[in-house]
Structure 1
Amino acid sequence: MFSLAPAPVSAPEPRTLTTMQALNEALDLAMERDGRVFAIGQGALPPLSLFGATQGLLEKYGPDRVVESPLSENAMTGVAVGAALMGRRPVLFHIRADFALVGLEQLFNNAAKMAFLSKGARSVPLVVRLYVGRGWGQGPAHGRSLEALFAAEPGLKVVMPSDPASAKGLLLAAIEDPNPVVFIEHRWLHFMDGPVPAGHWTEPLDGPKLRRRGSDVTIVGTSWMLRESLRAAAALAGAGVSCEVIDLAVLRPFRPEMILDSVRRTGRLIVADTGWTTLGMGSEIVATVTERAFGALRRAPVRIGQPDRPTPSAPVLAAEHYPTALTVFDAAARLVDAAPARVAAARGALAAETAGLPTDLPHPDVRAPF
């Protein structure tokens, strides 16, 4: 049972910011507009400032609204849930999604269920920000992408931005939403730049976003894999393969209508997920399309994601673990039965872009500090 969220606000003209700058600006705007908003997390204060997420906010709003938390994730999640129930709007940070697992009892059993148990009389306007993704060889305990776990819990909203503009608009919407929102950020996106409208505006938490139109294959991507999907689609266009790319963006509430409409036109589906292939978001999307648009499918859908093993630290293992734009490219070429000669030049150019790049480093167009 969800409360009604505020209506979306149109966006002004953009400037170029990194995703982290856009997220910092969004949090600043939210705190400036609403005195109930406060930030809390490990590393919230300088010098870390959550890698830039709270940069400059302590000086502007003081220690009562930018709060350093102890190493006690369950307790701090409970504090944030309690503050939300008392009328505040906390933004709680876990600098790795893995750390949030200690707080699931508070998040799943209290925050997610309060509106339902109170027949809508009580709400928990809480945002939990989680960092995911590889880098620094983080491996099995620090590098997991756990969006499917959070999206499986009724009562939570789950968001994964894919670029600076969507990060700002979705975060502002999440902070203003009356329900608990899990806001999952891939660390490789933090230092990617792009156009971001100035001022206050929101992107509605209402489902997928169309990022590229096409007619041959539907590709649905999440977070970093949306970037890889767009890169693959641009390369495929050079070989005459037209891909429609959809950003899942809002995982819960799960609203697949845009995906279904696209598959009914293209007849082919690829889901590129940052998490695991088995029992991941891709499985839910493929199951939904098979149930509701089976007759439109010309070929069996394809799921792309991590294989069934813990995320590795060693570069030699990581190179075989994570899917890339080439993975998406090859899957789309197979779905349209493209002859190797037809796609060879485009594939070669795409491969050259990332040739020799370490697996734990992002694409060169991302200026990240690792």
Structure 2
Amino acid sequence: MTTLFTPYPLRSLTIPNRIWMAAMCQYSALPDGERAGVPTDWHFAHLAARATGGTGLIITEGTAVSPQGRISPYDLGIWNRTQVDAFRRITGFLKSQGTVAGIQLTHAGRKACTERPWVDGGRWLTPDEPHCWTPVGPSALPFSAASAVPEELSRERIGGIVQEFAAAAERALEAGFDVAEIQGAHGYLIHQFLSPYSNHRTDEYGGSFKGRTRFALAVVDAVRRVWPDDLPVFFRISATDWLAENPEDHREGWTADDTVRLAEELQTRGIDLMDVSTGANVPDAKIVPSPGYQVPFAERIRTEAGMPVAAVGLITEPAQAQEIITSGKADAVLLAREMLRDPYWARRAATELGAAVATPVQYNRARR
């Protein structure tokens, strides 16, 4: 029987268990200067703790492919050599603990320029403020009344961003990462193109499903071309905008049907696994979270598209995670806030379920 603690093979990798950490922004990099976007001691300590805790795969926070691709000015980046060198310290330590190191490649699009959550409630910054810039998007539609109106991307700039993703992937490989995850969820740039709610273009990058997915597929192709054949690429998806699920909401958005259709296409282009989340593209979408509320979307992709998936969303208890894996709803679970509350969640789960995870040699009983 497949359990949380069964190794998971992907291409040449073997991830030691099915307990993975989802990308979570820490808003702790410098916003400008030579060290902008560079991992700090905080990032090292944050990620290293989860590795010593037995987590099988750790995915960094959304790491911007360009300065303008950051969600906040305080996010990590992978657009220069200084960032690459700093990441090597982190990936080296993760690997020393038997943890696989993954990076989430991100462009925020119209959701760029927010303050840190603990400063002014994480308010939207304006382009005229220090450390901010004019955001971009598929259409000149702001995310909310409080956010800036983005500049609509030209075809040429779309092509440029595709190449930024590819260049970022090459740097991520140099930095020691073994898994690249393309951020196509949560209302960031790729999701903005996918959804008719945020994409009102009338050219080849808008309109039909084929048009709205063109940018995402171009990014996937560009990343897969530079990423080694023996290493996996993930795609994070918001399976739905949560509009179709509400019979009282008649706005058009991205749907679960669209996600299954895209998953089938992504498999043919070398994507190895879908990281399945939902929402965050429509600020007033009606969502009622409950334990494991996003798991059915992952299960549907796995069943209908035949694609490996990782499930996320209010997965908090070891028995709950175990059931998701043993019942075939997902191939792995991705923990986010629960992993912040307990860096040693994998070790606790092993104790509760009668399994084991690797223990740092320093934690073994010392000779007396």
TM-score by length of 2: 0.28
